[in-house]
Amino acid sequence: MTAESGENAVAGRTSRRSLERSRGRTAASRKTVLIALASNAIVAVVKLFGGLVSGSTAMLAEAAHSVADTANQGFLLASIKLSSREPTPDQPFGYGQERFLWTFLAAVGMFLAGAIFAIGYGVFELLSGEKPGGYAAAYITLAISLAAEGASWLRAVRQVREEAGEADLKLMDYVRGSRDPNVKMVLFEDSAALVGIFIAFAGILIDQVTGSNVFDPLASIAIGVLLVFVAITMGRDVSHLLIGGAARPDERDALEEALREFREVDDVVELLTLVLGPSSLLVAARIDLADDLSTDSVEDISDRIEERLREVVPDVTEVFLDATRSRGGATAQA
């Protein structure tokens, strides 16, 4: 063998399929995160000012909430940037799973903001019994926050609704099954922020009407519990993807059904899937092919199977097929 032919024989050691598949959706996710980042940064400053002027514990808890959300959007932007790197021989399928790692870190940050500050400071103020004032400043702050958070929430809902329509799924079914952690995190964060605004409003209003100093810190504690709940939900949602989750059950069923469609496939011995990124899946299948197939026929059926798998589940980017005898066939031979 010549040196030139030896060089040509070197196998490819990286794949750009997952990177190319993710680029279209990454742009939309990045825009959603940028809008959320700008909104949360503005709201954090407004809430902090309003909280200091009014002395409202719930308002300060909401300020901490917005600061945590702003930091989280920074994490999400970092994940989009890092996941867009070119694959390397040491990371042959690319860096799509970076999206899951940074979303998990964002969930941890939200948990700390809720558990340490919102709940802790609420308990402290509840025990100290200090009475807030400056109700007008608090209400103006809440109104500005509602407008900004609402705009970000509408953007996230719009993107999720469009993607759900493309997948031919209901909105909530898509949200539960989506592997895009960025849009889901923004949607959950903004939903929690809107609920938190109404909780703060209720606590401040009841204190003002009753002359009590209990409901404002109770509102802070409630906001903290809300943040902890959202953080745990997001962390649990993304953790199985971070450690090597499989495709959704409906996707696995569709893939197996597609394999069994081919008359050249006698049996599907094993079907394994792995999530490589928000919009990329690896499929590895052991299939028992008909005994009368020639070498050219095996290559042809392999190409057609790969094409068909991508048709039924568009997120499939990597396909590995292993021709093997079925368990039943092996037993019969024995």
Q: For 179-235, what is each residue's pLDDT tens digit?
A: 888 777 878 888 888 998 999 999 989 988 888 888 888 988 998 898 888 888 888
The average pLDDT across 57-75 equals 83
pLDDT at 295 over 80: yes
Identify whether the C-beta of residue 40 lies closer than 8 Å to the C-beta of residue 152.
yes
Q: Tell me the CA distances in angstroms from 116 to 52, 56, 120, 125, 193, one per residue in order.
A: 19, 17, 5, 14, 17
Query: What share of the chain has pLDDT > 70, as a percent?
Result: 92
At residue 7, the pLDDT reads 52
At residue 23, the pLDDT reads 73
Identify whether the C-beta of residue 190 lies closer than 8 Å to the C-beta of residue 149.
yes
Distance in angstroms (rounded) separating the CA atoms of residues 148 and 43: 7
Look up residue 119 and give its DSSP letter.
I
Q: For 78-101, what is each residue's pLDDT tens digit?
A: 888 888 888 888 888 888 888 899
Q: Which residue has the tokens 């996710």?
A: 29
The average pLDDT across 55-63 equals 82
Question: Taking all residues of the chain, what is their mean pLDDT, rounded to a whole number?
Answer: 84
The average pLDDT across 141-148 equals 89
The average pLDDT across 277-285 equals 92
Minimum mean pLDDT range among 6-20, 104-118, 228-242, 275-289: 6-20
Beta bridge partners of 268: 287
- Domains of the chain and CATH, by start: 17-242 (1.20.1510.10), 249-333 (3.30.70.1350)
Distance in angstroms (rounded) separating the CA atoms of residues 126 and 259: 62
Q: For 3-26, what is each residue's pLDDT tens digit?
A: 444 455 556 788 888 888 777 667
Torsion sign (Cα): 27, 33, 37, 40: positive
Distance in angstroms (rounded) separating the CA atoms of residues 79 and 261: 39
Query: What share of the chain has pLDDT > 90, as a percent?
Result: 19
